[in-house]
Chains A and B, each alone.
Chain A
Amino acid sequence: MTRSALQVTNLSIRFGGLVAVADVDLTLNPSEVLCIIGPNGAGKSTLFNLISGIYRPSSGKVELDGRDITGWPAHRIAAAGIARTFQSSRLFNDLTLVDNVVIGMHTRTRSGVLDALLRPRKARAELTEAAERATELIRSISPHLYARRHMLAGALPQADRRRLEIARALASEPKVIMLDEPSSGMDDRDTDALMADVRRVMAERPGLSFLIIEHDMRLVAALPDRVAVIDYGRKIADGQFAEVRLMPRVQEAYLGQKAAQHA
Chain B
Amino acid sequence: MDALVAQHLLNWLVLGSIYTLVALGFSLLFGVLDVIHFSHGDVSMAAPFVALAVIQAVTVTLVPDGGTATLILAILAATLVVGLFGVLVDWLVIRRFRAAPAMMALVATVALGTVVRELIRTLYPQGSNPKPFPALTTEVLRLGEVAVPVFSLIVIFVSVATVAALFWLLNRTPVGLRIRAVAEDRAVARLMAIRPDRIFAITFFIASAIGAVGAVFFASHAGVVRFDFGVQLGLIGFSAAVIGGLGSMQGAILGSLLIAGVDTTVQMTIPDGASYRLVFIFALVILVLVLKPSGVLGKPVFEKV
A interface residues (Cβ-Cβ under 8 A, vs B): 15, 45, 48-49, 54, 86-87
Contact = CB atoms under 8 A, between A and B. Distances in A.
8 contacts: A15-B302, A45-B305, A48-B305, A49-B305, A54-B303, A54-B305, A86-B305, A87-B305
A87 B302 CA distance: 17
Contacts of A49: 305
Interface of chain B, helix or strand or loop or mixed?
Answer: loop
Contacts of B303: 54
A49 B303 CA distance: 10
Contacts, number: 8
Contacts of B305: 45, 48-49, 54, 86-87
Nearest to A46: B305
Given A15-B302, A45-B305, A54-B305, 5 more contacts: A48-B305, A49-B305, A54-B303, A86-B305, A87-B305
Nearest to B302: A15
- The 3 A-B residue pairs whose C-beta atoms are closest, nearest first, are A49-B305, A54-B305, A86-B305
Interface of B: 302-303, 305
A45 B303 CA distance: 13
Contacts of A45: 305
A48 B305 CA distance: 10
Nearest to A180: B305
A48 B303 CA distance: 14
Contacts of B302: 15
A78 to B, nearest CB: 14
Nearest to A49: B305
B140 to A, nearest CB: 51
Contacts of A87: 305
Nearest to A86: B305
Contacts of A54: 303, 305
A146 to B, nearest CB: 29
A206 to B, nearest CB: 30
A87 B304 CA distance: 11
Nearest to B305: A49
Contacts of A15: 302
A94 to B, nearest CB: 11
B103 to A, nearest CB: 14
A237 B302 CA distance: 30
A87 to B, nearest CB: 7
B101 to A, nearest CB: 11
A14 to B, nearest CB: 13
B41 to A, nearest CB: 33
A43 to B, nearest CB: 13
A54 B303 CA distance: 9
A164 B303 CA distance: 23
A45 B304 CA distance: 11
